[in-house]
Amino acid sequence: MFDIVTGLGVTGWTGIAVICALLVGLAAWQNNRHAKREDERDARERAGSANRSAPSGTGAAPRPAATTTTARATQTPPRPAPLPASQRSASGNGNDDTLSPYEAYRAMIDKRVQDFARSRGSLVLSIVHHEVDEYIDTDTAIEAIDLIRHAPDNAPIDIILHTPGGIASATQQILHALKHHPGRKTAFVPYRAKSAGTMIALACDEIVMGTSAVLGPIDPQYAWMPAPILAALTEHKSADRVSDEMLILSKMAQQAVDEARRFSCDYVNDAHKQDGTCALTNDLIGGGRNHDYPILPQEAASFGLNISTAMPEAAFGICQPPPKDDPVLIVSMMNSQPERDGGAPVAPVFR
């Protein structure tokens, strides 16, 4: 035992101490983050109750749950900036010093959305995601559908997009609702609308992008792999050299690609179909680009998209990230998705 203790030496025991300290710090950080999310959820519920009791000017109910999407109507000062964590009250929302930083941030964003809607005379759907676990999901679809179905037929709808993408089925629901709304639809992309966000932008009559904003390919991802590549697996390896599980995944990935080609073409706005064919969506699905490939405004316009870069300054303000209160412990962590732990594959996503 003594040999083991002395054999490690100062360096060995120092390394062990550092690892233990990191583990303790990680546990504390996770506990703090969990507590913060609980506080934010309570804050959103209180803010939602307040919004329901006062007119918002959007015709949309506030989102009751996750922090992924907001469908509210907006504003922005000339040069927007993230709200400092120390700021406890929201400008234009009274002098309530009891607001938490997140509540003050949420009130500021809500006011920007309302002012944006008033300035354009439109309904505003804000699909804004900042955290790694935020994406277009069923809640996003419900909120979007409710806003669109309650909108007058001739009401213009502005969609502010800042998202990495999301679930295919939820995206298709949003696309279907947009296609059957006769009013003008405009997508605003201040920074990014990748994957499923690109598909929603393509469903609008016009896409307004920031000069450095990006769209992206729309090839579906299956079991966290590019579906077109996974589908082509059996073209490069004989069936007897591929496991049964991978054969099944390959066939399911091919189904996801076929479905993506079909419904993405159906929902692209005619304003972006210069030749009336599905060449655009086929290129964005199977054009050989990496899924994270950035499509800047100039390249998007070269595809024949109805693109403008006349981005209102207010739209940038709506996409500002929330305040960061907690210290960040930089630790590399694996994503514990079910399919990575031997569970069943998740549904196709466009992210």
- Name the CATH superfamily, with its identifier, for domain 56-350: 2-enoyl-CoA Hydratase; Chain A, domain 1 (3.90.226.10)
Which is more confident, 85 or 276? 276
What string of DSSP letters covers 206-230?
EEEE-TT-BB-----EETTEEHHHH
- Give a three-class secondary structure readout of 13-64: HHHHHHHHHHHHHHHHHHHHHHHHHHHHHHHHHHHHHHHHHCCCCCCCCCCC
Give the dihedral sign, CA 88/92/93/95: positive
Work out the pLDDT band at 214, boundaries 50, 70, 90: very high
Q: What is the mean pLDDT of the chain?
A: 78
Which is more confident, 180 or 248? 180
Q: Is 327 a residue whose pLDDT tops 60? A: no
Structure confidence at residue 351 (pLDDT): 58
What residue segments make up the domains of the chain, in order of their start? Answer: 56-350
Residue range 338-346: average pLDDT?
49
Distance between CA atoms of residues 4 and 97, nearest Å: 58
Structure confidence at residue 242 (pLDDT): 79
Distance between CA atoms of residues 181 and 254, nearest Å: 31
Distance between CA atoms of residues 215 and 283, nearest Å: 14
* pLDDT tens per residue across span 225-268: 778 878 888 777 777 787 888 888 888 888 888 888 888 889 99
Work out the pLDDT band at 130, boundaries 50, 70, 90: very high
For 245, phi then psi, to 5°, come to: -60, -45
5-19, 55-69, 173-187: the lowest-pLDDT one: 55-69
176-180, 198-202, 335-339: the lowest-pLDDT one: 335-339
SS3 160: strand
Distance between CA atoms of residues 140 and 337, nearest Å: 21
Distance between CA atoms of residues 330 and 135, nearest Å: 23
